[in-house]
Every structure is written in C-alpha cells, then in structure tokens.
Amino acid sequence: MTPTAVTNARNGRTMHLPFGEKRDGPLFNQHILSVKQFSRQDLELIFGVANEMRMMVERVGSFDLLKGKVLAVLFYEPSTRTSSSFIAAIQRLGGSIIPINEVKYSSVAKGESLPDTIRTLEAYADVIVLRHPETGAAALAAQYARKPIINAGDGIGEHPTQALLDLFTILEERGKIDGATVTMLGDLKYGRTVHSLARLLSLYNIKLNYVSPPILQMPRELLDELNARGIPQREANALEEVLGETDVLYVTRVQKERFANLDEYESVKNSYVIAPETLARAKPDLVLMHPLPRVGEISEAVDRDPRAAYFRQVEYGMYVRMALLAMVLGKA
C-alpha cells in the first residue's frame, strides 16, 4: 500500500499514514504545552472521549486502541499520580512505555541536554510526556521534537493535563462547570496546578476566589489576564470570608521545593488545615478537591465526607489521560 500524506490543518505538519487511514481532530499530532491552546469546544470533545474511556474501562478493563504505540515517560521531578496514570492510560489502551522516572539513572546524569534526550526518545516512542523543574521546559522540548510532547508540569509554570482532569472532575461531580464559585486555597504563587486551572476555568462562566498567605498570592500577570477576560476574582484574607458561597474548594500543598529560603517555607507551611469542622460550615454539595500529594492541608478525618472528591479526582485523571493519548495519536 502507498502511504498517504496527511497535513494537520492547525500546525501544518505532515504525516505519512498507511493508505486509507485518515486522522484529524483538534489534538491530532499536537503538543500539549499550556491550557491556553484549548477552546471550550476542544474541552467538550476531550471530556466526551474521557467519558467513553471510563465506560470502556468499566466494561472491559483494557482494549487495543493504541496497540503498538509507545509512550516515553520522562520525569525530572518526583511524581506518583501523573506518571502512573499516564502509564496506566497507555497500557489500558494496549500500548507500552519507556519509563525514565529516575533521570539520575539516565544519561541526563552525565550532563545530556534536554533537546538531545528528547531527540533520542522520539526515535523510539510515538509521544513523550515530560515533567521538568524549569518553566518553559516543555515548550523548549517541543521546538526540537517531531513527535508530540505532553507537558506534565514545568516548574511553577503549567500543568495542563492536571487542569483538564480537574475540570472533568468538576463536571462529573456537579454536572456542569458554568455557574460555579471556585475557591483556590494554599500556595497560589508556586502551584502550577492552580495556574493552569484558573486559566482553563476562565473559558466558563465562573467566579474565582483566592485564599493564600500574603507571600504566596496568585501571580499578578495571571490576575490581570483573567481580569481582561471579564472573570470575577476576589483575593480573600481568610477562608471564612468565602467558604459559604464556595461550590468547589481546591486545596493545594505549599510547594516546599520552590522556596529559596526554608525559613520562609516553615513560616507558611501550616497556614491552612481543612477539618470536619471546616466542612460543617460549607455547602452541602461542595466539591472538595486537591491535586495531591497532601501534606497536612486536609485532615484524614475529612476523607469519609462524601464531598471529599480528591480520590475520585485521581481516577478521573486516568480517563482524561487515556482520551488525550488517543486523540494526540489520532485514534479518537
């Protein structure tokens, strides 16, 4: 069979596909670097596919949609959920992985650059998931890559796939995203999850509240960006000021690894603890979320409350990542 050249309308890149196969869709052959690249229509599509993935997993566990495809998982920072959910996602779709979770055992430890590491891995894999401590690392990798790069967290920059699964969680738990008052609590300065989530939520009709220690406030550029989009935002000094009106409470960990001065970290690390008494003053249909890991911000006694959605959020993450892989590889 003669291969067919297919050009992606969005990025102009051409791929040679086996005759007869035709692939399109907004994510096909695309990098996923920032939530800024998504429209509301893209999100609806992703969540629709994620729902199909959920039904298939519930029915058959795994299936061969991505049989033969290889995912490289390149993590320069620790991870439990993001790396293992991507691994579970490709494996449930019949594909396989090149795991580089411990870069200290790879040639990175010998001083190999990110571009060289990427150019090597893309010779073996069809798509690369990258986590890196520097903001902009995924965008840099994408400049050198012919294969799609998925940003799994770039320093204090963005964590787009987490924001997608966070939105999917809100949708699944509440039935809709529009109309929600979302309160973000904790480390809003260094937390990449809240940076991506606030931007992605701004595609909807929502209100945002921010509660943090003064030294960990949401970056001014982000506030300005959302202001320009007409999003109502409020910076509160205490959770009590906004808890009563909150539909979604998104709690985050103080990002110890980002502090230059550990005394500063010590001064803010125990600023907030969500306890059963906190939830007693919250809406009965509150959705309590956390990207995890938690290190004391939510007491374990809260886990029994049906409003605690963070472990369901973990599960939704796998369906969303299955959807992303299938769409990037042109199979959904």
| Interface ranges with ligand NCD (CB under 6 A) | 81-82, 153, 159, 162, 192-193, 253, 291-292
Least spacing, CB of residue 294 vs ligand NCD, in Å: 8
Rank residues 207 and 253 by Cβ distance to ligand NCD and give the closer one: 253
Rank residues 121 and 251 by Cβ distance to ligand NCD and give the closer one: 251
Least spacing, CB of residue 110 vs ligand NCD, in Å: 26
Could you tell me which residues come within 8 angstroms of residue 166 by beta carbon, excluding any fewer than 6 positions away? 193, 197, 200, 250, 289, 291, 313
Give CA–CA dist 265/97, Å, rounded.
36
Task: Indicate the SS3 state at residue 182.
Answer: strand
Q: What are the Cα distances from residue 95, in Å, to 80, 174, 247?
A: 20, 33, 38
CB 122 within 8 A of CB 281: no
Give CA–CA dist 305/253, Å, rounded.
20
CB 181 within 8 A of CB 152: no
Rank residues 45 and 182 by Cβ distance to ligand NCD and give the closer one: 182
CB 198 within 8 A of CB 229: no
Give CA–CA dist 293/189, Å, rounded.
17
Least spacing, CB of residue 297 vs ligand NCD, in Å: 10
Least spacing, CB of residue 159 vs ligand NCD, in Å: 5
Least spacing, CB of residue 316 vs ligand NCD, in Å: 12
Q: What are the Cα distances from residue 164, in Å, to 83, 181, 195, 323, 325?
A: 15, 18, 12, 11, 13
CB 286 within 8 A of CB 242: no
Rank residues 133 and 244 by Cβ distance to ligand NCD and give the closer one: 133
The structure tokens 């502090």 sit at 259
Give CA–CA dist 221/256, Å, rounded.
22
Least spacing, CB of residue 105 vs ligand NCD, in Å: 21
Least spacing, CB of residue 130 vs ligand NCD, in Å: 13
The structure tokens 């220690």 sit at 213
Least spacing, CB of residue 136 vs ligand NCD, in Å: 16
